[in-house]
Amino acid sequence: MAKEWTGVSRRERKFAVKVKSPGECKRVLSIEIPKEELDYEEGLVVSELRRDLKVPGFRKGKVPLKYIEKNYKEAIRGDAVRNLLPSVYEDALVREGIKPVGEPKFENVQTDEGETIRFDVSVEVRPTIDIDGYRGIKVKVTKRKIEDSHMNDVLENLRERLGTLRVVDRAVREDDFVLIDYGPLLDSGAIDQKLLATNYPVDLSGENLLKEFREGLLGMTTGEEKDVFVHYPEDFPDKKAAGTSKTFRIKVKEIKQKDLPELNDDFAKRVGEQFASLDSLKEKIEEDLNKDEDKRVEHEAEERVIDKLIEKRPFEVPDVMVRNYIASLLEEDRKRRPNVPDEADRERELRERFYDAAVRTIKKYFILEAVRKRENIEVSREEVDRRIEELAGEGSHQPEEIKAFFSHPQRRQNLENEILDRKVLDFLREGADVKVAQ
């Protein structure tokens, strides 16, 4: 059977491999390992087993080989096969120059008694993109004209932000802010004290407020109590409550209305000390809206160029990359909804909804990479440092915090990748024939 092995290094594996390409991003390696490799690996297993094996009547490390081969034959063969498969697979990847993405799938393992081992390994690989014709691509985009209504929307949002709450002595109206005590009623008609919420703030303009709750509060006055019947819809986030009904006893503690400031020079100064008048604020709003629209037009032009390149040069993407991308979206969804139990139906819906978008995102990644390599587009250390300085001068965080954040190698690498993508997108957009319609 196996011979005892006493060396310290492994020799080069002997095996045969054939590669099939059932798809642009799929490879199947059919591998055959000869008997001598199996014998050699079994020798390694026996040597390791003999070194550690404890058998009554024998000193450790001195158990006879024949005893081990007779009593541990199946275990030795199994361990040898399990060792050989991944090891030879890795050697086969090097020999064939294959760089897989994701984990391999071992299939059709055949171990002839005392003879060869045959098995298949399915892997996914990156697509090979020979991209050209990305200069002069014709795209059309529409630029929105900034109207007074757009500026008025911004001003109203600013008024909402600078509004003040004032306690009022009247009945509850729409858009009021109400402080209440509320709790569900037991069958006896008493409030379930375990679930009683006190001094609970309610914004009647909130989108998530149940219709019955909002309608029940309208018209109530300070100190008034009222029973409100609520039916939870079938798609209510809390699955335990979905489809059920409850009666709540509500007591209004306080009613506040939001007073919005008048649009005048004082209002402008409250928005920012740099604004001496309402007109100067409006000028800045119009300037920012036009800048935002210019950025939107540039972004739309870039995305249309990408779509044209995808249409011009169709290619497949690895399924594992699509799955991983969707998995990241699902994880973000779970973080935004931490108190909602696991929802298989929602996950299935999101997978279906975002599948096409995931495929396009990955195709965009490969296109940008192909253009970057062909055009030798790179990012210098100075460019990354300059971008960090820009970020340090923006936002509400201290510059030292921003710089410390990007001192982490992975975060700095992510920022470098963002800058690189931006340079490639700028290159594609600037090289395109973009027609802008008003």
Query: What is the per-residue pLDDT across 12-25, written as a single tens digit (0 to 9) for each?
Result: 788 999 999 999 99
246 and 327 inside one domain: no
Q: What pLDDT is attached to residue 3?
A: 42
Domain assignment of residue 225, yes or no: yes
183 and 90 inside one domain: no
Query: What is the per-residue pLDDT across 149-208, written as a single tens digit (0 to 9) for each?
Result: 999 999 999 999 999 999 999 999 999 999 999 999 998 889 999 999 999 999 998 888
pTM of the full structure:
0.77
Q: What pLDDT is attached to residue 183?
A: 93
297 and 255 inside one domain: no
Is pLDDT larger for residue 44 or for residue 70?
A: 44
Query: What is the per-residue pLDDT across 404-420, written as a single tens digit (0 to 9) for each?
Result: 999 999 999 999 999 99
The pLDDT-based confidence of 275 (bands split at 50, 70, 90) is very high
Query: What is the per-residue pLDDT across 118-157, written as a single tens digit (0 to 9) for each?
Result: 999 999 999 988 888 899 999 999 999 999 999 999 999 9
Domain assignment of residue 398, yes or no: yes
Q: What pLDDT is attached to residue 339?
A: 61
The pLDDT-based confidence of 358 (bands split at 50, 70, 90) is very high
Domain assignment of residue 55, yes or no: yes
| Listed residues 211, 238, 259: the one ending a domain | 259
For 30-39, 139-148, 217-226, 413-422, which range has the lowest pLDDT when averaged over its residues?
30-39
240 and 357 inside one domain: no
| Listed residues 235, 259, 283: the one ending a domain | 259
333 and 237 inside one domain: no
Domain assignment of residue 314, yes or no: yes
304 and 399 inside one domain: yes
Q: Report the side by side order of strands in the sheet with 16-23.
A: 16-23, 26-33, 117-125, 100-111
**Residue closest to 419 by CA, chosen among 374, 399, 389:** 389
Q: What pLDDT is attached to residue 251?
A: 95
Report the mean per-residue pLDDT for the chain: 88
CATH code, domain carrying 197: 3.10.50.40
Q: Does position 9 have pLDDT exceeding 50, yes or no?
A: no
170 and 97 inside one domain: no
**Residue closest to 83 by CA, chosen among 124, 122, 49:** 49
For 82-96, 336-350, 366-380, which range has the lowest pLDDT when averaged over its residues?
336-350
The rounded percent of the chain whose pLDDT value lies above 90 is 64
Query: What is the per-residue pLDDT across 231-270, written as a single tens digit (0 to 9) for each?
Result: 888 878 777 788 889 999 999 999 999 999 999 999 999 9
Domain residues for the domain of 245 are 164-259
Domain assignment of residue 88, yes or no: yes
Which residue is it, tokens 């209440």? 180
The pLDDT-based confidence of 7 (bands split at 50, 70, 90) is very low
Q: What pLDDT is attached to residue 209?
A: 87
Domain assignment of residue 80, yes or no: yes
Q: How many domains, the chain?
A: 3
CATH code, domain carrying 53: 3.30.70.1050
Q: What pLDDT is attached to residue 113?
A: 65
73 and 183 inside one domain: no
Q: What pLDDT is attached to residue 68?
A: 65
Query: What is the per-residue pLDDT across 373-393, written as a single tens digit (0 to 9) for each?
Result: 999 999 999 999 999 998 888
Q: Does position 218 have pLDDT exceeding 80, yes or no?
A: yes
Domain assignment of residue 374, yes or no: yes
